[in-house]
Amino acid sequence: MGLITPDLGLLFWTGLVFVLLLVILTKFIWKPILASVNAREQKISDALELAEKTKAEMHALQAANENLLKEARAERDAIVKDAKETAVKMVEDAKNTAKAEANKIVESARATINTEKTAAIAELKTQVAAISLEIAEKIIRGELSSDEKQKALAEKMAGDINLN
Amino acid sequence: MSLIFSAKRFFTLIAAMVILTPTYAFHPGEPIPEEEFEVGEMIMHHISDAHEWHLWGGHHNSVSVYLPIILVDGGLKTFSSKHFYHGTPKKAVVDSLGKTVEYIVGSGPAAGYAMFEEEIYKLKDGELQFSKMEKKDGNEKLVYTEFPVNASALDFSITKNVLSLFMGAVLVLLIMGSVARFYKKNGPVAPKGLAKYLEVLIVMVRDDIAKANIHHHKYQKYVPYLLTIFFFIFINNLLGLVPFLPGGANLTGNITVTLFLAVATLLVTLFSGNRNYWGHIFAMPGVPWPVLIILIPIEIVGIFTKPFALMVRLFANMTAGHIIVLALISIIFINQSEAWGMLSVPMALFISVLELLVAFLQAFLFCMLSALFIGAAVEEAHH
């Protein structure tokens, strides 16, 4: 058997074994192995893609949250401002109302006082008139207690009239 | 599962056949003649095919496994090769100076046949003839031949290489079967154990060899072939590096095996060849017809030189590796001194480790170039 002369028997066995090996390996071994490896690679690439997508989603969500927060803050500020304004206005209103009420009470008091005063003055007037009348009566009585006196008075009065 | 089981049974059967048949060519009492150590002969014996699997021992106290011989010669004849190794040695003159060679005439069921340099010939007149009459210038002349002129028998024996081939194939099936079982059981998960190591190679063949060289729409079809050829060569290369049974046969360094693998790649290439491929061979576009007259033969030769290079590359690399290791070990025996082992063993070890790399590299190269040729055959025109 020369080193570089092909041998028919070995060629036959090599061919037989190789073809059998090729068929068996392809059908029962390479197929499941390659299928599994491919499936796993698909799974990994899918997972990576999903992670990337989730990350983007998270990003979007975060941005949305940020916006929401900003909006909420603005709203809160607006509400607080509103509330402050309302409070100020309420106090103002209350003050005004109170002032008006006080004014009204003062006015009313003043009116009452005036009325009382008028009444008092009227009473006083009446009494003064009565007292005056009494005094005048008394004086007249005294004046008219004698004829002379009566005469003198009449004269005097007449003189007064003349004077006027 | 059942496949693996039957593969195991087959392997056991082969192992049983091998273990039960050996008989030892041990002849106690016979004087052991001092023979000169022939390096070339020893190395050629180790790298060539044989009908026995030599285990240990020298000429007269050697222990071998005798392998079955299968001859097709007017029907199937099967018998143990011990009928040759225990046959009658005979000498024949092979040149005009009287140089002789030895061949063995078979006994028992091997009667009628003789073995010369592991080749089986049919006996004529009870002997092998190394000369023939040749007519030259009108008168007949005796011409000596290197090999016997007897008809050689159709030899389908389970030789050392064939047995090694079986063991290599069973090994590939067992290893890959366990990987396939892992994936079948666990589905698409991260690989563990054997699968972890082999998946790297499988993915390498798929991505770096097939996908990189064959158009990405068509590569999938060729992945099983490329995987098979890669692991067939790789496992058998490694098996050849094991210095004892079940290794040691120089299977991938045998020209017959590399010839078959190269022809397989050639056939795959030719049957995959599309219009564009054949167009580039018989009518290279953009080339004037007078040039084609020269170009067509060159292209046709090119079809065959590519697989031829594949065949020679694998054969030469693996055989050379075996020869270097054997030659380095032989330093001890040439000098007949164990002290030379201090030099020869580290050197042989170094080359053996290098051979591990070569075992992978040659499998990778064969597979890579096969993919390259297939890729060129299925490539679509792009101009």
Taking contacts as CB-CB distances below 8 angstroms, the residues of chain A near B155 are 7-9
CB contact under 8 A, A28 and B3: yes
Q: How would residue A72 be classed by pLDDT, with cut points 50, 70 and 90? A: very high
Integer Cα distance of B208 and B205 in angstroms: 6
Q: How would residue A68 be classed by pLDDT, with cut points 50, 70 and 90? A: very high
pTM for the structure as a whole? 0.75
pLDDT tens digits, A129-141: 888 888 888 887 8
Taking contacts as CB-CB distances below 8 angstroms, the residues of chain A near B231 are 25
> Considering only A6-10, A31-35, B53-57, B206-210, which range has the smallest mean pLDDT?
B53-57
Residues whose CB is less than 8 angstroms from the CB of residue B194 and which lie 6 or more positions away in sequence, other chains included: B175, B178, B179, B182
pLDDT tens digits, A26-40: 999 999 999 989 998
Task: Give residue B112's pLDDT.
Answer: 85
CB contact under 8 A, B260 and A13: no
pLDDT exceeds cutoff 70 at B365? yes
Asked if A2 contacts B150 with a C-beta cutoff of 8 angstroms, the reply is no
Taking contacts as CB-CB distances below 8 angstroms, the residues of chain A near B70 are 9
Sequence ranges of the domains in chain A: 34-163
pLDDT tens digits, B311-354: 999 999 999 999 999 999 999 988 888 899 999 999 999 999 99
Integer Cα distance of B148 and B141 in angstroms: 17
Task: Give residue B203's pLDDT.
Answer: 94
pLDDT tens digits, B247-301: 788 899 999 999 999 999 999 999 998 888 888 888 888 888 888 888 899 999 9
pLDDT tens digits, B214-226: 988 889 999 999 9
**Mean pLDDT across A80-84:** 95
> Considering only A13-17, B108-112, B315-319, B349-353, which range has the smallest mean pLDDT?
B108-112
> Considering only B21-25, B94-98, B154-158, B199-203, which range has the smallest mean pLDDT?
B21-25
Asked if B92 contacts B63 with a C-beta cutoff of 8 angstroms, the reply is no
**Mean pLDDT across B145-162:** 87
Integer Cα distance of A87 and A81 in angstroms: 10
Radius of gyration of chain A (CA): 65
Q: Which residue has the higher pLDDT, B279 or A77?
A: A77
Query: Token digits for B205?
Result: 């063949």
Q: What is the mean pLDDT of chain B?
A: 85
pLDDT tens digits, B226-239: 999 999 999 999 99
CB contact under 8 A, A26 and B224: yes
Total beta-carbon pairs less than 8 A apart between chain A and chain B: 124
Query: Token digits for B266?
Result: 């050639």
Query: Token digits for B107?
Result: 């006994």
Residue A72: count of CB within 10 angstroms of its CB: 10
For residue A58, the distance in angstroms to the closest alpha carbon of chain B comes to 28
**Mean pLDDT across A117-122:** 88
Best of A1, A28, A34, A40 to disrupt the B interface (most B CBs within 10 Å) is A1
Interchain contact A37–B (C-beta under 8 A): yes
Chain B residue with the nearest C-alpha to that of A12: B156
> Considering only A39-48, B114-123, B124-133, B373-382, which range has the smallest mean pLDDT?
B124-133
Asked if B88 contacts B107 with a C-beta cutoff of 8 angstroms, the reply is yes
Angle at which helix B341-378 crosses helix B275-282, to 10 degrees, equals 100
pLDDT exceeds cutoff 60 at B4? no
| Residue of B158, B169, B319 with shortest CB distance to A21 | B169
pLDDT exceeds cutoff 70 at A82? yes
Task: Give residue B8's pLDDT.
Answer: 56
CB contact under 8 A, B228 and A8: no
Task: Give residue B3's pLDDT.
Answer: 47
Chain B residue with the nearest C-alpha to that of A37: B188
pLDDT exceeds cutoff 50 at B375? yes
